[in-house]
Structure 1
């Protein structure tokens, strides 16, 4: 199964400069190379197996073999093929693999990138990062020891990464005198375990890595086994095709501007797209047609692209899109939800606890999630289940996660590429998880398909009719500036003046929003993002109902203000209330700067958190240089020009 390295920082995408063209479709070279991961319990012979295969296919130079013999002799041991890969001194001295190692092999029919991953439980993060990019997996089991703890852990991780089948080698058959009875016993044991975790063992082979039995050549010591060798089994393997028939999922990595083009870059995780397709971009569900698919070094225009390819696209309409958005077709969008079930594998020393917050990364999407419920804890060693309020290291948990901002994803069983995520605590990866949407509704939680799939209620009262009835146009005057700049003072005075003129007008500010709708939010960056998102949605509803909305929020981040504008592009008007930080500190009407300087308030804008000045607001007033009346007059002049019907009709 083709997998991406999702685990450490989502998928790092760029606009590829090495596209090639085949019938106007982007193609990717080197697809014939198979990435193969070797997993299993510590000291079951993974590195030895790779080293011996390299010897038997002629991939080791004579001087390398002589060096290995010298090292082995110096240590008083027989020829140790694992030293081919265990390059670190610590690895050789302790006889364990610590870092993920990759070597390249070629047979007459295949090219392999073989990934040797650590078997020790202390290096599971390295094992995961190595296995995540593999197409196929070999699980190594010691013939004498049988299935051990890390065999179980590694097999579960492989399933979590999307492998539904693996090739199994029962290694060190020389230690059990090449016994057919022991092999049959272990074959039954391994099949039973893999079936529990949802993996089908395609082939189970008896081998002896040290002596080369059953790897490249048939074993004279195991004439009772008539099956294939390991390498012939691998040569018969073909990776699953990329998921082109699944719905389109294009996570947005970045936006690039070249000449007059605004290129939206990302990697197609599933499905395909072509020029002229109408794409929908979660989370705001805005739509636009694909104008072009950009490529370099091709003579013909690129008309289509598909799963696994990095693309740069331009759109016919200029809509707000940023990193973390997800493009799909309107007909098959992802699930949008605030709650979802997940099965997670916990890696951290500190246990996962009910009510804790972690950072979720899924492709380029990042969200802060709360552990809303722990439904069961599964012991990875015997797969027994029990209830609990925390999940210890190397345990599996079935949990319900809650995100305050809308999350868009797919169920893992439907689309693994949008159904697999990782959790971070600070900068440390602490868990990997699989998404399950089913039965969330039974908990009374919010989970639904894309808003585009829910039939909208037809509004028989048009916004134009509301304007005529009110005598003015509606919209949103978005006042932004530092705390103490005068936003609320100006907003309330504007509301009073316009109300006396008979306008339908209301004010949204921190006091009336934070005391009710956003009472559950703090002042961290993620909570600020969510607060402004809610304000934008409410302001849009009011504006669409004919009201002139005046908002007074610091809203320190340009991206949040841009997102609010994208909800209602023709109705949004940004007003920058400019005042220097020193002036705001002197005013300090609520004593907030004093508390922030004393450390009583953390992440306070202007002191310990940044404020991003608007780049091109519709109106700017400077309350250090202008009086309140002068600022009001400037804004009223703008309102009269933009919202009074007699000036627009």
Structure 2
């Protein structure tokens, strides 16, 4: 294939060396329906920011003239002959440009349905996205696919660019309708547009300068909107992650070599090597060529010696104290699957992470989605080009981070039969002492007590009562009172409180969206196990995201009963039994639901309880509901359920 000549010289702004290391860097992916103008926008941005080498634009125009083709800005990026022949972009292209505020790495991703894999590859590397929509065509199915995939990949900053506004004469009504349509769709899964910008990429309207005929729009241009986005912390600002590549023996020295992926290290630092947990101090740093430095930072390849002999091997990761990664035997990851064979429960895999790897087995597959049509494929398996959440048990521990904590150790590659079969980001990493049994040796064992015998004794069947609501809405109060009522009637209820579980079973989890999801998954699995064995599990969890509660419903199946414990925010804040609202108002608690994090109310709960009313009435309503749902058996006399 012949590439369009877009060479990059060392002095060019497109060269990585052109941006000083201390400047802020933001990675942007541009996505959208085919022919909505992505490559045109990228070409125009490069021109407007002076990112093209001298004479390059004129050269491209000359090449187009020789071929008898009208010049298009997209020719700057269509680097493959087949792309020019077919008129579509089939690969991802990464190019740097800069504004006065910061540097950008721009990823142009394909919009054609057959190339969604490449689009995901690009988006997985990005910090923010520009979702392009043709003003004349509006929101298309492919637009929805790309928006949904941005959500799956965890991108929270999205600029919606309504392109080709010149073709509709910058009609404000057209823009307003598209703005409302896309906002409504994104809101459905909790993704809110950071900016919605009218645009004419071909003519340059609202790329850098404002366009005539759109005085009604007072927001930023595309470049202005990009400069208003929040850049992630630089690698140097993240905790130290030093994956060991090799250990060499020179004269009397054992030199541990690797690349500092994030953070900094200095002579005298105490390091902990995971997953072994061994500790030692840095005696010296070694560099080739040149004198040995006293410190080094992210991006530098370095060697080091230690003040004592400890066992260190390739794949170990050095870190500082309490900021070290987790020695994980269990990984929950959002995976994009590439192989022809399905990824399903029991599949043996090899997980590669940084310079290390470990074999393991798939324990569960959930939230599987086919990006081509956004249909849910159930929880049984991931097919080719599908995305889903996968739980993997490892035969030996790997040093790992949740992607939200540190992306360096938050990305994995999955191999099957020594071939790359998929990849993804780590949602949570858990330490477990028990290694997974080989495939085929795990067989579920049923209880010796029949379900009918439990119903006869307890006078009720199993159930999961999932009480959700704002903090201090009254979930635990209602749950404890209901547990006491059912117990007094001779039943077998069990109260599962979210805060209590975080002191034990879920003590390793924080409050990021990914860790909240894992917290809910574990509680749902436990509650379902209890329900299957005849108990009424009464769960009290804020569980603010609808998607997480829906996952709990999928786990529990017919046992699941959602109860919305409803109380106005001002009432909850006035109660504030733990003082959390006051601390959140002062900025002392981040991601606190109701103040700095959203709560998504249930849309169709089985029961709604207003806790501004009498507690006895709330318990009575729940008891009546359980009877009507067939969970509680008719009583033979007044003493029993």
TM-score range, shorter chain: 0.5 to 0.7
Map of 1:371 onto structure 2: 362
The 5 Å alignment of 1:44-83 reads: 44-57=36-49, 59=52, 64-65=57-58, 67-68=60-61, 71=64, 79-83=71-75
Q: 2:389 aligns with which of 389, 398, 409?
A: 398
Give unpaired runs (5+ residues) of structure 2: 1-16, 441-641
Q: 1:314 aligns with which of 297, 305, 314?
A: 305
Whether 2:106 is the aligned partner of 1:119: answer no
Map of 1:215 onto structure 2: 207
Q: 1:401 to 1:89 in 2, by over 3 A?
A: same
Map of 1:206 onto structure 2: 198
- Asked if the contact 2:145/2:373 (under 8 Å) is kept, the reply is no
- Asked if the contact 2:40/2:201 (under 8 Å) is kept, the reply is yes
How far apart are residue 157 of structure 1 and its match? 4.9
Alpha-carbon distance between aligned partners in 2 of 1:437 and 1:110, rounded to the nearest angstrom: 31
How well do the aligned residues superpose, as a CA RMSD in angstroms? Answer: 3.9
Give unpaired runs (5+ residues) of structure 1: 1-18, 20-26, 439-446, 452-516, 523-649
The 5 Å alignment of 1:184-195 reads: 184-195=176-187
Alpha-carbon distance between aligned partners in 1 of 2:157 and 2:307, rounded to the nearest angstrom: 43
- Asked if the contact 1:294/1:302 (under 8 Å) is kept, the reply is no
Secondary structure of the 1:191 match is helix
Map of 2:398 onto structure 1: 407
Map of 2:608 onto structure 1: none
Secondary structure of the 1:201 match is coil
Map of 2:525 onto structure 1: none
Map of 1:241 onto structure 2: 233
Alpha-carbon distance between aligned partners in 2 of 1:411 and 1:33, rounded to the nearest angstrom: 22
Secondary structure of the 2:431 match is strand
- Asked if the contact 2:31/2:109 (under 8 Å) is kept, the reply is yes
**Over alpha carbons, which structure has the higher Rg?**
1
Alpha-carbon distance between aligned partners in 1 of 2:360 and 2:197, rounded to the nearest angstrom: 43
How far apart are residue 402 of structure 1 and its match? 1.7
Alpha-carbon distance between aligned partners in 1 of 2:56 and 2:242, rounded to the nearest angstrom: 49
Map of 2:256 onto structure 1: 264
Secondary structure of the 1:430 match is strand
Alpha-carbon distance between aligned partners in 2 of 1:104 and 1:340, rounded to the nearest angstrom: 34
Q: 1:274 to 1:152 in 2, by over 3 A?
A: farther
How far apart are residue 47 of structure 1 and its match? 0.7
The 5 Å alignment of 1:252-401 reads: 252-257=244-249, 260-295=252-287, 301-303=293-295, 305-307=296-298, 309-378=300-369, 380=371, 385=376, 387-401=378-392
How far apart are residue 84 of structure 1 and its match? 1.7
Whether 2:135 is the aligned partner of 1:170: answer no
Secondary structure of the 1:400 match is strand
Alpha-carbon distance between aligned partners in 1 of 2:241 and 2:201, rounded to the nearest angstrom: 42
Whether 2:426 is the aligned partner of 1:435: answer yes
Map of 2:431 onto structure 1: 448
How far apart are residue 89 of structure 1 and its match? 1.7
Q: 1:518 to 1:341 in 2, by over 3 A?
A: closer
How far apart are residue 48 of structure 1 and its match? 0.9
The 5 Å alignment of 1:463-612 reads: 520=438
Secondary structure of the 2:194 match is strand
Q: 1:103 to 1:408 in 2, by over 3 A?
A: closer
Q: Could you say which structure has the greater relative contact order, defined with CA pairs below 8 angstroms and 6 or more residues apart?
A: 1
The 5 Å alignment of 1:127-142 reads: 127-134=119-126, 136-142=128-134
Q: 1:362 to 1:125 in 2, by over 3 A?
A: farther
Secondary structure of the 2:178 match is helix
- The C-alpha deviation readout for 1:324-352, integer Å capped at 9, x for no partner, is 11223343443334333333233444432
Q: 1:100 aligns with which of 92, 98, 103?
A: 92
- Asked if the contact 1:367/1:405 (under 8 Å) is kept, the reply is yes
Alpha-carbon distance between aligned partners in 2 of 1:256 and 1:187, rounded to the nearest angstrom: 59
